Amino acid sequence: MAATDTHGAIDAVWRGESARVIAGLARIVRDVGLAEELAQDALVAALEQWPRDGVPRNPGAWLMTIAKRRAVDLIRREQRLERKIEELGHELRTEGEGAEPDLAAVEGDIEDDLLRLVFTACHPVLSTEARVALTLRLLGGLKTEEIARAFLVSEATVAQRIVRAKRTLAEARVPFEVPAGGELAERLSSVLEVIYLIFNEGYTATAGDDWMRPAMCDEALRLGGVLAGLMPGEPEVHGLLGLMEIQASRSAARVGPSGEPVLLLDQDRRMWDRPAIERGLAALERAEALAGRAGRGPYTLQAAIAACHARAATPEETEWPVIASLYADLAALVPSPVVELNRAVALGMAYGPAEGLRLADELSAEPSLKGYHLLPSVRGDLLAKLGRLAEARAEFERAASLTRNERERTLLLERAASCATPPGS
């Protein structure tokens, strides 16, 4: 395998396995910052050895083994935690020098080390922003720039949050565990936010050459399912799970033969995953039964919006007035310019593009949306429907210049080209 191919394989492995390696190490060393450093050391070793020796059969386990050895070396150098040395040494002797152990062997008895990592990163000693940013970095393997785009803040801000968060967790000696009782309920909202952001990064990648990263969607769904098992009486857990299931049901229809994005109203609904939709609708029903319709939380409301699309056999059958009303409820519950932008789309579909454009124009003055590519994209769509093609083209071109996703940029430029005024008109 060529060196460039090997480095590509290493990058793919790191994306897929880093969260598990960090989570397993964090359970051992009880320090998420140190766990990430050890995992990075293992990555450096892979970059040195794999181009020469080839990618191992079980690359994730290889990384874990190397990281464990780095942990032993570090502890020995600092002459502390003798008992930990003995435990790790025993693990390594059991696995053997050349062995590739099963990563499942490092998982603890509270269902999942990854879930422990989420709750540790979401500890109340951290700000909400720091909890989410740190967990996205450790659990989702996202780059700082990707997290920044998710939060609509600068990369420097996110980098500072991550560094300070790891330092704070270490200084506070936060235990690596899933909390119990009232503390679990208090920390649930930020955990749900983290899981959904991970899902969204997989559902519509903010950067790179791929429109979707299915593995991240799968990881978020898995964590959502674990949470639902841990907290069966919490409506928002089921609401989030229902939302993700329904959205994930469209995955096969969202990508064309060449990997190009296919927008919702253009999708072949026969390709939607009906079992996933049924699971999502069942989770939504459970959430609404637990909360009552008047007490629906933000994830349950978003699941109800997704359900409107899932129940429509054709785009024309979509109940857009209901969706617009649900977005209004969501905006009242959790005020957000992004929610308002989605409401503008729904208003345009329900009551005409002029109504949607009125709200979208108001949002143009919102500072947090200044570099958000979906604002000009939405305005471009509404302007095109109103026949204002020159303005629409400019908006699509602006949106294309703001997105970091190559597939999305191509789609937006194609939409801009379609707005060109025909010669002689």
Higher pLDDT, 336 or 74: 336
Domain 114-174+188-199's class? Answer: mainly alpha
pLDDT at position 110 is 34
pLDDT at position 29 is 80
Over range 146-161, report the average pLDDT: 82
pLDDT at position 421 is 64
Higher pLDDT, 114 or 306: 306
Burial label, 249 (beta-carbon count in 10 A; 0-12, 13-18, 19+): buried
pLDDT at position 321 is 98
Q: Where are the extended beta strands (E) located within 89-198?
A: none
Cα(212)–Cα(388) distance, integer angstroms: 31
**Mean pLDDT for the chain?**
84
Percent of the chain with pLDDT over 70: 85
Range 356-394 burial, b when 16+ CB lie within 10 A, else e? bbebbeebeebeebeebbbbbbbbbbbbbbbebbebbbb
pLDDT at position 292 is 84
Q: What is the pLDDT of residues 229-263, one digit of tens each?
A: 878 999 999 999 999 999 999 999 998 888 888 88
Higher pLDDT, 304 or 80: 304
Handedness of CA 184, 188, 190, 194 (dihedral sign): positive
pLDDT at position 105 is 44
Note the pTM of the prediction, 2 decimals: 0.72
Q: What are the structure tokens assigned to 412, written together? A: 């937006």
3-state secondary structure of 239: helix
Q: What is the pLDDT of residues 87-112, one digit of tens each?
A: 666 666 665 544 454 444 433 433 46
Tokens 């920044």 locate to 148
Check: CB of residue 218 under 8 Å from CB of residue 156: no
3-state secondary structure of 324: helix
Amino acid making up residue 265:
L
Q: What angle (nearest 5°) sits at the alpha carbon of residue 292, between those of residues 228 and 187?
A: 40
The DSSP result for 195-234, as a single string, is: HHHHHHHHHS-SEES-S--HHHHHHHHHHHHHHHHH-TT-
93 beta partners: none
Cα(425)–Cα(419) distance, integer angstroms: 13
Give 69's pLDDT tier (boundaries 50, 70, 90).
Answer: confident
Give 63's pLDDT tier (boundaries 50, 70, 90).
Answer: confident
pLDDT at position 210 is 59
Give 216's pLDDT tier (boundaries 50, 70, 90).
Answer: confident
Report the range of poorest mean pLDDT among 59-68, 70-79, 203-212, 336-345: 203-212
Over range 393-401, report the average pLDDT: 96
Cα(297)–Cα(342) distance, integer angstroms: 17
